[in-house]
């Protein structure tokens, strides 16, 4: 299992569009992917779970990834967060 801390760097925080980007990326992999925000752990492959999370600009969130392709999933998801979800 991999655990990596990433930061929400887009000014609008985690809203529908970034949540969709995270879900689409996570769904490309067989590994289980969870997002942990303020001790709340949600399935990153579920758009409804992601939208319900309160992650504002500057929030640090933890990605928990477990499975055969966890290394590839980690790199892909880190790239999604680093892109600021295409908002900057």
Residues acting as catalytic residues: 15
Q: Which residues contact 16 (CB under 8 A, 6 or more apart)?
A: 51
Q: What is the DSSP string of 5-68?
A: EEE--STT-S-HHHHHHHHHHHHTSSSEEEEEETTEEEETT-HHHHHT----TT-EEEEEEEST
């Amino acid at each position: 299992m991999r655990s990596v801390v990433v930061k929400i760097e887009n000014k609008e925080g985690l809203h529908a569009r970034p949540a969709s980007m995270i879900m689409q990326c996570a769904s490309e992999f067989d590994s289980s992917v969870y997002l942990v925000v303020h001790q709340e752990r949600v399935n990153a492959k579920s758009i409804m779970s992601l939208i319900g999370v309160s992650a504002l600009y500057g929030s640090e969130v933890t990605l928990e990834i477990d499975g055969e392709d966890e290394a590839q999933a980690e790199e892909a998801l880190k790239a999604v967060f680093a892109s600021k979800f295409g908002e900057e």
